[in-house]
A and B are shown apart, each in its own frame.
Chain A
Amino acid sequence: MNLLEHEGKQLLSEFGINIPKGVILAPDDDVTSAASALGFPLFVKAQVPIGGRGKAGGIVKVDSMAHLIAESNRIAGMSIRGYQVTSILLEEMVHGDRDIYVSISIDRRSGSPALLVGREGGMDIESSPADSMTREILDVFEEIPASAIARIEGSLNLPKESRRPFAEFLHMMWSLFRTKDLELLEINPLTLSSRNGRFTAIDAKVVFNDDAVFRHPNMKVAMDRGLSPWEAECRIAGLVGVQLDGTIGVIANGAGLNMATLDTISDLGMTGGAFLDLGGTDDPEKVALAIRLMIMSKDALGLDGILINIFGGITRCDTVAKGVLQAAPRRHDIPIVVRMRGVNEIDGRLLLTTNGIPAFLVLDEAIYALLAEVDGK
């Protein structure tokens, strides 16, 4: 789950990392008193849980009250790549002499956290030359070793008086990353002021590991962030829904099976409109729930047809078929075809077909049958 910039900065501050002075405002709030406290010039920043705000015009520097009022009104009403701006951050301008990139993320290859530091802060990390970056794999059992810090400070060519504060800063980042179950903690840029030797985090991207919410209950409130209303409904039902651009909804009992089914649908000339993962379960109640969730939102999802792909494991296929029928799929005006395989599969498919739901053993046949029904409408 992506934290908003101000939420991320709040966490940094809690762990001793300097952040610019700022005031968070709702779109309707009065900006004038906040501005007086911060002084001009200051930054107006849209708060949305995705990147690319700057390019979209969601981050501006203003140097007068009139300018501030105009820009905050504009930004407060913005929608950036589908995300409505829910708050704006007014922030003082911090003067620095050097911008550095620092992040801690999860290196999947080694299954360990990785610390990445770059000499060229403030720019797109992907465009940074490889030799400007230093990477250290970290040990979850240990503090960041002095040797790693020495290598990083060497590669950055930090002035002597900045080395100790920088080392302390890295320890604070590591502590925050582990304590708050983060997947990513990225500061870009981290600004160093030679005047007072302070490091300040100018921007922060923080991603929380959703699976750890049981030990961070305050994160619960934001769990639906970034999800469409339908996707949020699925999440509440204990399922995973992803809205797609096409017209065929796929319900399957397994994420890999679901993705493979969507790929196969595409091979045969149709487009995926929704992904709804039941998880590994073949529980008829969950199957019925999933079908209802998809049917009820078929118009919002833009669906012309629904394919259900169940590979039966523990539950017998006739029991799963009863679950499908429980959702009363025939009463709704959308073609639905089932592909079903597993124990008692013949009984299961028979039960479906005798109740008006076409059911097949072979996936391609099921998809062709759905294609025919969809085209026929």
Chain B
Amino acid sequence: MTLGVNEDSKVIVQGITGHQGSIHTAEMLAFGTRIVGGVSPGKGGQMVGPVPVFDNMDSALKHLDADCSVLFVPAPHCREAVKEAVDAGIGTIVIITEHMPVHDSMWIRRYAAKMGARIIGPNCPGICIPGVAKIAIMPNSIFAKGNTAVISRSGTLTYEIVSSLSDNGIGQRCCIGIGGDLVIGTTMAEALDELLDDSMVDSIVMIGEIGGTAEQDAAEAYANKPKKPLIAYVAGRTAPEERRMGHAGAIISGGSGSYSDKVRALESAGIRVSTRLNDIPVRLSQLMSEW
């Protein structure tokens, strides 16, 4: 079980009839994910491939059981859709959608905490457990089964790094895309905490970027627990200050969230930082052999 996801997870796709929703439903099914239903207001009764569509979560849950959901819902409607999922008792909610207003993100984070639900994202590629389940938009073909866990703030950069791990015979236990926004449902520190306790994980790769204190907070979480081999990489070493580099959260603001701050905090906690993208598999192998 990783962040509430395992081989028994039953997933509802919210926003299933949209372009992204329908394409990725097919991809997730091909990966082996148990997609039990979909929600699209006004489209109840339709099918997306083998998946039945309902008008809302309540009506879906009258007909089937589900414990996870994944959102391909336009940003202005995300808060409402997440609330619907939480109220329906969904335990793990993965938000793929980008451009959610930050006040809505803060609201859903607070609401989920109050109601005991877990949120991953928004603006994230999802969570994938090779051979088990994929509640994500990550391409199926990049993964190989193994024992390395990957945590990342990025989308395609994650695919790049996972591919290079697979190329080098380093298989993955799981890959968690926490998302690139200012406020997210599961932080890097929270994800790391869980992976450090997971007996199926023997090593970790953490992919960060400039902006905020995610890596510094994760370093603190690492320092407080029994260790596992961990390699970190931080994108944006050459990014200018005070500019938003694509992701809402990728901004060095008032001197805070710089590359050097992050590397310093990671190294102080005993975490090895790979300064070059291509070196990650080699650095990890090296560390594993020394461990």
- A residues with a Cβ closer than 8 A to B are 106, 108-109, 111-113, 126, 139-141, 178, 181, 183, 209, 211-212, 214-215, 240, 242, 244-245, 252-260, 262-264, 266-267, 272, 275, 277, 279-280, 311-314, 341-343, 363-364
Contact = CB atoms under 8 A, between A and B. Distances in A.
B238 A255 contact: no
Interface in B107-163: 107, 109-111, 114, 125, 137-139, 141, 152-160, 163
Contacts of A244: 240
A126 B159 contact: no
Given A267-B276, A314-B27, 20 more contacts: A106-B183, A108-B214, A183-B182, A211-B101, A214-B76, A244-B240, A254-B156, A255-B246, A255-B247, A256-B235, A257-B160, A259-B245, A262-B239, A279-B246, A280-B155, A311-B156, A314-B139, A342-B139, A343-B141, A363-B278
B254 interface: yes
A109 to B, nearest CB: 5
B112 to A, nearest CB: 10
Contacts of B217: 109
A275 B246 contact: yes
Contacts of A252: 156
B2 interface: no
Interface in B234-291: 235-240, 243-250, 254-255, 276-278
Interface in B78-111: 98-103, 105-107, 109-111
B75 interface: yes
Given A211-B100, A263-B236, A272-B238, A364 B278 contact: yes
B102 A209 contact: yes
B102 A140 contact: no
A211 B182 CA distance: 12
B183 A242 contact: no
A256 B247 contact: yes
B23 interface: yes
Q: Which A-B residue pairs are the 7 nearest by beta carbons?
A: A255-B246, A256-B154, A254-B156, A256-B157, A212-B101, A277-B246, A259-B235
Contacts of A108: 182-183, 212-214, 249
B210 interface: yes
Contact of A363 (B153, B245, B247, B277): B277
B156 A313 contact: yes
- Max chain B C-beta neighbours (<10 A), residue from A272, A314, A343, A364: A314
Contacts of A343: 139, 141
B159 A113 contact: no
B113 to A, nearest CB: 9
A181 B103 contact: yes
A314 B180 CA distance: 21
B48 to A, nearest CB: 16
24 contacts: A106-B182, A106-B183, A108-B249, A111-B183, A141-B110, A181-B103, A209-B103, A211-B99, A254-B156, A254-B157, A254-B246, A255-B245, A255-B250, A256-B155, A256-B157, A257-B157, A258-B245, A260-B233, A262-B238, A263-B236, A264-B278, A272-B238, A279-B246, A342-B139
B128 to A, nearest CB: 13
B57 interface: no
B135 to A, nearest CB: 16
Contacts of B27: 314
Contacts of A212: 101-103
A343 B27 CA distance: 14
A111 B105 contact: yes
A263 to B, nearest CB: 5
Contact of B106 (A140, A257, A275): A140
B213 A109 contact: yes
A126 B154 CA distance: 30
A363 B237 CA distance: 17
A205 to B, nearest CB: 11
Given A106-B183, A112-B110, A259-B239, A280 B101 contact: no
A244 B184 CA distance: 28
A255 B211 CA distance: 13
B160 A311 contact: yes
Contact of B156 (A215, A256, A264): A256
A183 B237 contact: no
A244 B239 CA distance: 8
A215 B76 contact: yes
B243 A242 contact: yes
B36 interface: no
B207 interface: yes
A287 B93 CA distance: 31
B209 A259 contact: yes
A277 B245 CA distance: 8
Contacts of B154: 254-257
A218 to B, nearest CB: 16
A205 B167 CA distance: 49
Contact of A106 (B106, B239, B244): B106
Nearest to A177: B103
A283 B153 CA distance: 22
Given A178-B103, A254-B154, A263 B235 contact: yes
Contacts of B236: 259, 263
A78 B154 CA distance: 40
Contact of B207 (A183, A256, A313): A256
Contacts of A181: 101-103
Given A263-B236, A263-B277, A264-B276, A280 B246 contact: no
